Amino acid sequence: MNAFFRQFKTFLDKAILTFCGFAIVTLVITVTWQVFSRYVLNDPSSFTDELARYLMIWFGLAGASYLFGKNGHLAITLFIDAIKAKHRKYVYLLINLVSASFISMAMIKGGLLLMSRTMTQFSPALQIPMAYVYCILPLSGILMLIYLALNTIEAFSSNHQSISEGE
C-alpha cells in the first residue's frame, strides 16, 4: 500500500481512537455524577442521562467505523474460504461494493435526511437540536467508506497477503 494511504489510515485511526477515548471518559464521568447526585445528594441531575445516551450512540458508531478500518466488522467467511485463492480479492471487492452501497444509502443519505427532519426538534434536557445527535450517522458512514476504499486499495496492492490470511 502506498505510504501516503498508510499514513492517512494511521492518522484516521488515531483521531477516531482519541475521540472514543474522550467519549468513554466523559461517559464514565457523566454516569458517575448521575449516580452520585441521585443517591448521595438525593437530587438527580437532569441532563446526565440524556448526555450519556447520546455519548453511547456516538461512541458506538465511531467505534464501528474504526472496526471497518481494521476489517474487524462482522463477516461470514465460509463463502470466501470456499473460493479459489486467486478469485478471493474479487469477491472481497464485490462485498466492499455492496457494503459501500448500503452505507451510502442507509447511513449517509438516510442520516442526512434524518438530520434535516430533526433540526428544529430539541432534546428535552440538553436543549440541543436532535440533528446534532444524528449527525454521527453520515459522519461514521463517510469514515466507513474511506476505510472501505483504503482496505480495497490494500487488498489489490501487489505486496498484500491473501484476503483469507490477513482478515
Query: What tens digit of pLDDT does each residue of 25-56 get?
Result: 999 999 999 999 999 998 888 899 999 999 99
Position 54, amino acid:
Y
Average pLDDT, the chain: 89
- What interhelical angle do 136-156 and 110-117 show, nearest 10? 170
d(Cα 108, Cα 135) in Å, to the nearest integer?
A: 9
Q: Quick one: which H or E segment has residue 94?
A: helix 85-102
3-state secondary structure of 158: coil
pLDDT of 141 strictly over 70:
yes
Please give the C-alpha separations between residue 98 and each of 45, 69, 73, 107, 115, in angstroms, as whole numbers.
44, 16, 14, 13, 24
Residues 55-60 have a mean pLDDT of: 96
Residue 58: count of CB within 10 angstroms of its CB: 19
Q: Quick one: which H or E segment has residue 29?
A: helix 3-39
- Dihedral pair phi/psi, residue 47, rounded to 5°: -105, -15
Could you read off the pLDDT of 82-114 as tens digits, one per residue?
888 888 888 888 888 999 999 999 999 999 999
Q: Are 144 and 107 in contact (CB under 8 A)?
A: yes
Residue with the larger pLDDT of the pair 77 and 7: 7
d(Cα 80, Cα 58) in Å, to the nearest integer?
A: 32
Q: Which three cell numbers stand for residue 63?
A: 467505534
pLDDT of 81 strictly over 50:
yes
Contacts of 94 (CB under 8 A, 6+ apart): none
Closest to 83 measured CA to CA, from 163, 150, 159: 163
Taking the domains of the chain in order of start, what are their residue ranges?
3-166
pLDDT of 162 strictly over 80:
no
